[in-house]
Amino acid sequence: MKILITGAAGFIGANLCEYMLKKGHIVIGLDNFATGHAYNLNDLNKHPNFSFMEGDIRSLETCLKVTQNADYVLHQAALGSVPRSLKDPITSNEVNVNGFLNMLEASKQNQIKRFVYAASSSTYGDSKALPKVEENIGKPLSPYAITKYVNELYAEIYSNTYGLETIGLRYFNVFGRKQDPNGAYAAVIPKFVGLFLKGDSPVINGDGTFSRDFTYIDNVIQMNELAMSTSNLEAINQVYNTAVGDRISIGEIAEFIREGLSEFDPRIRQIEIIKGPNRAGDIPHSQASIKKAKNLLNYKPTHNFSKGLKESLTWYYNNLKQ
């Protein structure tokens, strides 16, 4: 298959590119390096079945060009981060809504077989129900959450009105190899890992009791592959939680990371974990129901949190140690 992966230089996109190439597919990558990194493409660029285009999804012309020879689209390109969207809602909307619509329109015009896209657990908003079930959402709590919900609405319109097959994957706090520990909007696990390895104390937002359904990258890759390849007609034009169906507190995560890295460097065990103020736009708890993905896509997560964290810490220690 010829697969276009947007956001190819990012954490999830680069892992998807690598996996699909190993499976024998032809992969086209698109990225504008706003949050992705050129070094994530170093090995990919050596592969004969990989081609890359530097471009921005905010340009319809770019989207039309890059989808021209593709069979499937795995759309990962977006401006992530709730805090980023609170600071700059305009740019988040331009990329996540206008850019998404450009990709849908280009996929429709170039007769893409199926459009699989990264949705977000932030869509559940202020819903307090646990576990989160796809059909029951609350009001969004950030501009980022609004943009990701709008993606789902546009995808549904393009499915119902134009016949474009779409599947949305609501990612729940994805972590794993290649995830960037640096920058103002780094995700919590790589950020904590990077600080511990430098000998610095991580700061938890709040008292550490907030919990999340942390999902290892290999589970996310599996969901993308299943969404792209399923022949179950009932499974198409749906949105799925992409998670493991469990949750762990941020305080516990910090302690697990400290303990895990101490196996490599015993000095890390002495580093203090600091607690700070709560962060605007954060929900207290998040946990997914994965029944729908299991029933319709035959999803079988291969990594629980502890297995995924162990693999991640080994990768980070080997790649980040000074």
Residue 321 confidence (pLDDT): 67
Query: pTM for this one?
Result: 0.95
Identify the bridge partners of residue 242 per DSSP, sorted by sequence position. 171
- Could you report the per-residue pLDDT of 105-139, keeping only the tens digit for each? 999 999 999 999 999 999 999 999 999 999 999 99
> Over pLDDT 90: what percentage of the chain?
90
User: Residue 82 pLDDT > 90, yes or no?
Assistant: no
User: Residue 81 pLDDT > 90, yes or no?
Assistant: no
Residue 195 DSSP SS3? helix
CA dihedral (302, 304, 307, 309) in degrees, to 10, reads: 120
User: Residue 283 pLDDT > 80, yes or no?
Assistant: no
The Cα 29–Cα 20 span in angstroms is 11
Q: What is the mean pLDDT of residues 307-314?
A: 96
Q: What is the mean pLDDT of residues 139-146?
A: 94
Q: What is the mean pLDDT of residues 248-265?
A: 95
| C-alpha to C-alpha distances, 113 to 41, 93, 279, nearest whole angstrom | 26, 26, 41
Over the chain, what is the mean pLDDT?
95
User: Residue 243 pLDDT > 90, yes or no?
Assistant: yes
Q: What is the mean pLDDT of residues 190-198?
A: 94
CA 184 to chain centre: 17
Q: Is the distance from CB of 73 to CB of 112 less than 8 angstroms?
A: yes
User: Residue 322 pLDDT > 60, yes or no?
Assistant: no
Decide: residue 89, CB within 10 A, 0-12 exposed, 13-18 middle, 19+ buried: middle
Residue-range domains of the chain with CATH: 2-176+216-246+287-303 (3.40.50.720), 188-209+247-285+312-320 (3.90.25.10)
- Could you report the per-residue pLDDT of 26-56, keeping only the tens digit for each? 999 999 999 999 999 999 999 999 999 999 9
The Cα 114–Cα 119 span in angstroms is 15
What one-character-per-residue DSSP string does 217-242 give? HHHHHHHHHHHHH---GGGSSEEEEE
In this prediction, residue 320 has a pLDDT band, given cuts at 50, 70 and 90, of confident
In this prediction, residue 205 has a pLDDT band, given cuts at 50, 70 and 90, of confident
